[in-house]
Amino acid sequence: MAEQWVRLAALAEIPDGSVRKFRIDFRSGWLLRRGDSVKAYFDQCTHAGGSLVRKGGVFQCLRHEATFDVETGTPLSGPALDGDPLPIVELKVEDGIVFFKRILSDE
Ligand code: FES
């Protein structure tokens, strides 16, 4: 499989300390900026794939109300409690630009 780095945003466009939703290709996710570092999760509950909303320091699943820590993606309550943390979006920052890693299938 090949990979391609796609521009997501300029770091300067993302307020420090913010948590914001983004969409790229046919997926959405949550982008967090903390100083010069950024991280992102796919908007996908690890119980059964529900979409998430942010409520203060947690993401809450819209399907069965599992909650996840915003900073770590760790499940905190509900049916995802014994499951995996939120799936991480692979990112890199170069010259003040945040890039998303797109995996290209050989099919
Ligand atoms: S799909 Fe999220 S708690 Fe079930």
Q: Is 71 left (phi over 0), alpha (psi -120 to 50) or beta?
A: alpha
Q: Per residue in 43-57, pLDDT tens?
A: 999 999 999 999 999
100: tokens are: 């998303």
Residue type for 81, please?
L
Ligand 1 center from residue 79 Cα (angstroms): 6
Hey, CA dihedral for 70, 31, 19, 37, is it positive or negative?
Answer: positive
Q: Per residue in 11-28, pLDDT tens?
A: 999 999 999 999 998 899
Is ligand 1 within 6 A of the CB of residue 63? yes
Superfamily of domain 2-104: Rieske [2Fe-2S] iron-sulphur domain (2.102.10.10)
Name residue, tokens 């797109």. Answer: 102
Query: Which band of pLDDT confidence, cut at 50, 70 and 90, is reported for residue 105?
Result: confident
pLDDT(102) > 80: yes
What number is the average pLDDT over the span 58-82? Answer: 97
Is ligand 1 within 6 A of the CB of residue 47? yes
- The preferred substitution site among 46, 47, 55, 86 for testing ligand 1, maximizing ligand atoms within 8 Å of CB, is 47
pLDDT at residue 1 in the model = 81
Q: Per residue in 74-98, pLDDT tens?
A: 999 999 999 999 999 999 999 999 9
CA distance 66 to 81: 7
- The preferred substitution site among 44, 61, 67, 84 for testing ligand 1, maximizing ligand atoms within 8 Å of CB, is 61
**Beta carbons within 8 Å of 36's beta carbon, 6+ residues apart:** 11, 93
